[in-house]
Amino acid sequence: MRKNIVAGNWKMNTTLDEGVELANNVNTLLKGKKANCDVIVCVPFTHLTSVNAVLEPELVKMGAENCSEHAKGAYTGEVSASMVKSTGADYVILGHSERRQYFGENNEQLLEKTKQALANDLKPIFCVGEVLEERENGSYNDVVKSQVEALFSLTPEEFSKIVIAYEPVWAIGTGKTATAEQAQDMHAHIRKVIEDKYGKEVADNTSILYGGSCKPSNAKKLFAKPDVDGGLIGGAALKAEDFMGIIEAFG
């Protein structure tokens, strides 16, 4: 059966020292109180090796926030999936709305990134989600369906390694959370889209996380929904106590 997961996305925050301290604090809090879900911190490339050194892998797993669609070579400034894997990471966030919006990442590129991640034994946390206009004009189900379908050339075995994060763009960093009912409706829709392509077993085993202004005060209500298998957490992942408060929603 699918896993419950709480994953932090630190984005472009924290210096190396601050990041190591934050990771250490998360690790320490989890040592005191065992989590009822898998916990992941996704951190800047520059922090991966040092953060990995302070995390106990049975308590907290680590991921990157992106990787290249290329395996290696003359791509100055890029970081490959094999480089990420070599730091000790197990996960990589792909297709975050900030990457799609500010760096023009498209479905074709994201499929290539996903293939690179899988070829290097990294589990993609693949983000999908509509913008405000699409929520308001009612096209949100179709938009998210086509984002998920971008991965449909993967084999069932490959797809079963993917974690989906539904992050309505209008809820990211805005303080405006989707209601638990909106999240449930979309997560059930995504699971059906997966089922229609890969069958019920793959769909039932896919963890689908909610992201967008998730905090200790609203996590419990969101995670109580049957198709919401945890969260991808931005702002609230930058304070170990807040992150822990969200993890504890799985009480």
Q: For this structure, is 96 an active site residue?
A: yes
DSSP 3-state assignment of 87? coil
Q: Under the criterion CB under 6 A, does residue 233 sit at the interface with ligand PEP? A: yes
Residues 6+ apart with CB under 8 A from 103: none
Interface map 123-162 toward ligand PEP (x if CB under 6 A): ----------------------------------------
Token duo for residue 134: 């699409």
Residue 66 CB, shortest distance to ligand PEP, in Å, is 12
Instruction: Check residue 232 for interaction with ligand PEP (CB under 6 A).
Output: yes
Stretch that binds ligand PEP, among 19-27, 67-75, 190-198, 206-214 (CB under 6 A): 206-214
Considering beta carbons, is residue 19 or 212 the nearer one to ligand PEP?
212
Cβ at position 197, least distance to ligand PEP in Å: 25
Give me the least distance between CB of 82 and ligand PEP, in Å please. Answer: 25
The pair of structure tokens assigned to 110 is 């994201």
Q: Other CB atoms closer than 10 Å to residue 169's CB: what's the count?
A: 20
Burial track 86-120 (b if 16+ CB lie within 10 A, e otherwise): ebebbbbbbbbbbbbeeeebeeebbbebbbbbbeb
Shortest spacing between CB 95 and ligand PEP, in angstroms: 11
Tokens (6 digits) for 123: 């589990």
In 3-state terms, what secondary structure has residue 219?
helix
Which among 47, 65, 69, 96 is annotated as catalytic? 96
Nearest to 149, CA basis, from 206, 104, 196, 199 = 196
Measured from each CB, the residue nearest to ligand PEP is 234
Q: Is 234 in the site for ligand PEP (CB under 6 A)?
A: yes
How many CA atoms does the CB half-sphere of 30 hold within 13 Å?
Answer: 27
State the nearest-atom distance from the C-beta of 73 to ligand PEP, in Å. Answer: 30
x-marked contacts with ligand PEP along 171-190 as a string, rule CB under 6 A = -xx-----------------
Catalytic, 167? Answer: yes
